[in-house]
């Protein structure tokens, strides 16, 4: 079994209710065949390597509706669960799944699982929500999740027992790295029991740190909202002699939000991300570079990702949250205090510290993310109805594809400091390469 091969519950032998085509040229969208693939590595180097070795390139399974489905819509029952931190677009995905199940496949029985995986533990006593088009038709206008969320896993056996007891055929799990690993564990237990239950993941992380896929939903909205905050922070800094604005944005292990927000609002002078092991002191240290900036321009805007600079703290042990994520020390207040102490006897400064993280992550999705969320939801439903399981839906090389959960959770996506992307950040900010 290849790294990107998708598992199936069995033979899809039921004719799809979708009235699509199988021929080109009739102006009707065609069903996706199982042998429709998307090339993973588009580089010329990879292409030549395949030619030299006489091998087919590594390919991904193209997402979309199949001509035959596995589940009979008349008897199919689905459930949706949302886990982890909030992120713009969760409600859009919920809405898209419900609408696609109801109107595309005539699936009428859809349950909402409250408060993450806790909702699959009967001892919590949460019950379930019936989800219908009328109940979800307007939820895309609001941030957060109508189902509620929680961190941390539950007993896998208990969760599968609940799915069996509730006669659930398909579980859609919307969440990040921990949620997806939990979904895969549920799928593994289902497989051990020989059950026909599909488990589908829709990657959700505001940090955009899910491996392989182009981006995760909510990410675009996050730096869109953050960019206007940076504009106002710049106004604060420029309005004072030697004014300094420090803005802390989300990004536990990867600095994509900080970098993209700074690119979209090019008033930022320093971007500090977890991928950097920057120094505070010395001739090429951050504080020396900041001093030079103030001497030249009399103000500075600093954007720092929440996971940046953790090497600057003296840690006795690693702390983790309920989802297993490493808990970081507060780099924002640390930088504020260090900058204040450094300039105390050097020059007068005015420092403003801004942390808009929870405002950003609780916002409603913008138009770009809204379109993206609908696409993810629809393709997740198509894959699930065809009997695929233990997979996520995402975009790779700008194409919707299905990927095994394990393929995207083996490591976190991070900024390559030698990439064109990071170089564009340095060009925008004027941040020294030596730092």
Q: Nearest-CA neighbor of 198 among 22, 381, 414?
A: 381
Contact 293, 255 (CB under 8 A): no
Give CA–CA dist 360/86, Å, rounded: 10
Rounded Cα distance, 307 and 125, in Å: 36
Task: Judge whether 69 and 169 are in contact, CB under 8 Å.
Answer: no
DSSP, collapsed to helix, strand or coil, labels residue 342 as helix
**Residue whose tokens read 């090497």:** 311
The DSSP line for 117-175 is GGGG-GGG----EE--HHHHTTGGGSSS-TT----S---HHHHHHHHHHTT-SEEEEEE
Q: 417: which 2 tokens?
A: 């400091």
- The 8-class DSSP code of residue 5 comes to P
The angle formed by the CA atoms of residues 101, 103 and 108, to the nearest 5 degrees, is 55
The yes-or-no answer on residue 207 being catalytic is yes
Burial 229-248 (b: 16+ CB within 10 A, else e): bbeebbebbeebebbbbbbb
3-state secondary structure 362-403: CCCCCHHHHHHHHHHHHHHHHHHHCCEECEEEEEECCEEEEE
Of the candidates 207, 209, 253, 369, the residue annotated as catalytic is: 207
Structure tokens given for 310: 């953790």
Contacts of 238 (CB under 8 A, 6+ apart): 299
- In angstroms, the CA 410 to CA 405 distance is 9
Burial class (CB in 10 A: 0-12, 13-18, 19+), 358: exposed
DSSP string for residues in 29-96:
PBPPPTT-EEES---HHHHHHHHHHT-PPPEEEEPS--SEESS-TTT-EEEEEE-SS--TTHHHHHHH
State the Cα–Cα distance between residues 116 and 86, nearest whole angstrom: 11
**CA distance linking residue 75 with residue 108, whole number of Å:** 9
Catalytic residue ranges: 207
């Amino acid at each position: 079994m290849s790294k990107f091969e998708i598992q199936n519950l069995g033979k899809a032998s039921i004719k799809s209710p979708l009235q699509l085509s199988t021929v080109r040229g009739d102006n009707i969208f065609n069903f996706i065949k199982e042998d429709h693939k998307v090339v993973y590595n588009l580089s010329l180097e990879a292409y030549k390597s395949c030619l030299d070795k006489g091998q087919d390139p590594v390919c991904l399974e193209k997402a979309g509706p199949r001509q035959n489905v596995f589940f009979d819509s008349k008897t199919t029952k689905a459930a949706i669960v949302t886990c982890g931190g909030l992120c713009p677009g969760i409600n859009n995905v919920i809405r898209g799944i419900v609408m696609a199940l109801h109107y595309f496949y005539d699936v009428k029985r859809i349950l909402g699982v409250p408060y993450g995986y806790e909702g699959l533990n009967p001892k919590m006593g949460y019950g379930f929500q019936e989800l219908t088009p009328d109940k979800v038709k307007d939820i895309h206008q609001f941030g957060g999740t109508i189902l509620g969320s929680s961190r941390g896993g539950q007993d896998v056996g208990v969760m599968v027992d609940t799915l069996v007891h509730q006669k659930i055929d398909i579980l859609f799990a919307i969440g990040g790295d921990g949620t997806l690993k939990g979904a895969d564990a549920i799928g593994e237990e289902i497989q051990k029991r020989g059950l026909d239950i599909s488990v589908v993941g829709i990657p959700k992380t505001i940090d955009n740190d899910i491996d392989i896929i182009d981006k995760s939903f909510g990410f675009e909205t996050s730096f869109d909202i953050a960019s206007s905050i940076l504009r106002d922070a710049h106004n604060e800094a420029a309005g004072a002699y030697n004014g300094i604005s420090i803005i802390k944005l989300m990004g536990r292990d990867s600095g994509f939000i900080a970098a993209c927000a700074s690119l979209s609002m090019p008033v930022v002078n320093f971007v500090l991300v977890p991928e950097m092991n920057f120094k505070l002191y010395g001739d090429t240290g951050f504080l020396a570079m900041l001093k030079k900036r103030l001497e030249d321009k009399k103000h500075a805007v600093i954007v720092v990702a929440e996971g940046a600079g953790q090497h600057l703290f003296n840690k006795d042990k690693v702390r983790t949250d309920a989802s297993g994520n490493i808990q970081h020390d507060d780099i924002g207040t640390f930088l504020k205090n260090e900058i204040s102490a450094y300039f105390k006897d050097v020059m007068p400064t005015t420092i403003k510290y801004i942390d808009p993280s929870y405002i950003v992550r609780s916002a409603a999705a913008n138009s770009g993310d809204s379109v993206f969320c609908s696409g993810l939801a629809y393709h997740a439903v198509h894959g699930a109805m065809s009997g695929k399981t233990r997979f996520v839906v995402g975009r790779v090389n700008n194409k919707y594809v299905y990927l095994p959960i394990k393929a995207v959770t083996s490591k976190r996506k991070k900024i390559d400091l030698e990439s064109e992307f990071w170089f564009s950040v340095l060009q925008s900010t004027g941040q020294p390469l030596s730092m």
